[in-house]
Amino acid sequence: MTTTFKIGTRKSLLAMRQTELIIGMLRARVPDVEFQVVPIVTQGDRDRTSSLHVIGGKGVFVKEIERELEDGTIDFAAHSLKDVQPQLPEGLTIGCTPVRDSPFDCLLSPLPLRSVDDLPTGARVGTNSQRRQAQLLNLRPDLEIVPIRGNIDTRIRKITSEHLDAIVLAEAGLNRLEPDTTGLNRLSLRGTLLPAAGQGAMAVECRADDARTLELLARIDDAPTRETVTLERGFMRAIGGNCTLPIGAYARRTPLHPERLAASADGRAVSGAAGAPLTLDAMIATPDGSHVYRASATAESAASHTVETATQHTGTTPEELIASVIRDLHAAGSPL
């Protein structure tokens, strides 16, 4: 008898594409299993005009889906991990995180940009992310940030309809969906903007007590991806952050050396070497970009780090170290 699993997902093109990718991975390993896709409309899909930080952050893309999981209507759900709140509802768990795509952002622009500095004075840049806005304004206070929402194709069309000089998108979404970008130039922002925790990774959420589903999902879990995104999400929980704040976090096994970046011109993530120390880069900012604080920590050394307050910190893990940095910034009266 063939076993059928019901998969919940948003109706957006990217969400459906990611679900297809997950189903393809599972079928390659368990060919005698069937899958039924259950499209679910979320609050984030119903309200396409309000800013995300006003209606509840990116968690508005998963709450209804999580309720279907809790009710047993579906067996598991496919998400972009960056949309999943750092603290899951009781009884739910991340069953697997497949291999991560690029965690970085990029600019799409009709202009031949080599860096953010090449944007003209007062350039109009489209993004609805406070994290992206804060970092861009910190680098270029003259930029005009234009809030835009919608699926990838919709945002690309707004370059013309909203007279934008550029828009900011996640590289992973472009890699997976491959939209038509004829006439546009793509500039990677790796090394310029710190990504959101979990960006570029897909998450498959299920009930924590569903042994059958957990056994299935374990077949496509990628240990290096799980390791890094777990640290990034742990940092978010440690500082009490949520998806509405300008917070970035990126964990990696090896530094992104220039020669390795050049070898990965398609925007895919660069894997770290086994046994290399695990490093976490983190950022918190004010939405207007007037204050952006960054810190880095390496699990192996847990060495002291200096930030704008000139306070040094030590800890046993990167999570503890950077959490202490942020706590001290608050104590020092930083406007965060």
Higher per-residue confidence, 332 vs 164:
164
The pLDDT value recorded for residue 307 is: 30
pLDDT tens for each residue of 108-121: 999 999 999 999 99
State the CATH number of the domain containing residue 210.
3.40.190.10
Among candidate residues 10, 58, 75, 83, the one labeled active-site is 83
Residue 195, in any domain of the structure? no
Among candidate residues 132, 190, 233, 252, the one labeled active-site is 132
Residue 227, in any domain of the structure? no
Buried b (16+ CB within 10 A) or exposed e, 304-324: ebebeeeeebebebbbbbbbb
Q: Are residues 174 and 299 in the same domain?
A: no
Q: Is 155 a catalytic residue?
A: yes
Query: Three-state DSSP class for 219?
Result: helix
Q: How many CB atoms lie within 10 A of CB 217?
A: 25
Residue 226, in any domain of the structure? no
| C-alpha closest to that of 103 among 200, 225, 231 | 200
The model carries a pTM of 0.81
> Please, what is the end-to-end C-alpha distance for the chain in angstroms?
57
Q: Residue 219: is its pLDDT beyond 80?
A: yes
Q: Are residues 262 and 210 in the same domain?
A: no
- Domains in the chain, number: 3
Residue 243, in any domain of the structure? yes
Indicate the pLDDT class of residue 269, thresholds 50, 70 and 90.
very low
Q: Is 243 a catalytic residue?
A: yes
Domain ranges, residue 91: 3-98+201-221
Q: Is 82 a catalytic residue?
A: yes
How far CA 15 is from CA of 62, 172, 252, 301, 312, in Å, comes to 11, 12, 25, 39, 42
Across the range 272-280, mean pLDDT stands at: 69
Q: Are residues 66 and 30 in the same domain?
A: yes
Q: Are residues 209 and 88 in the same domain?
A: yes
Q: Residue 123: is its pLDDT beyond 80?
A: yes
CA dist., res. 144 & res. 142, Å (int):
7
Q: Is 131 a catalytic residue?
A: yes
The pLDDT value recorded for residue 305 is: 34
Q: Are residues 12 and 82 in the same domain?
A: yes
Higher per-residue confidence, 56 vs 229:
229
Residue 261, in any domain of the structure? yes
Q: Are residues 75 and 147 in the same domain?
A: no
Among candidate residues 82, 176, 207, 252, the one labeled active-site is 82
Residue 336, in any domain of the structure? no
Q: Are residues 90 and 211 in the same domain?
A: yes
Q: Are residues 211 and 68 in the same domain?
A: yes
Among candidate residues 155, 190, 207, 252, the one labeled active-site is 155
Q: Are residues 240 and 318 in the same domain?
A: yes
Q: Are residues 310 and 237 in the same domain?
A: yes
State the CATH number of the domain containing residue 315.
3.30.160
The share of the chain scoring above pLDDT 90, in percent, equals 59
Q: How many CB atoms lie within 10 A of CB 142?
A: 10
Q: Residue 241: is its pLDDT beyond 50?
A: yes
Q: Is 83 a catalytic residue?
A: yes
Residue 42, in any domain of the structure? yes
pLDDT tens for each residue of 296-325: 877 653 333 333 332 344 444 655 666 676
Q: Which DSSP letter does residue 324 get?
A: H
User: If you average pLDDT over every residue of the chain, what do you get?
Assistant: 83
Residue 196, in any domain of the structure? no
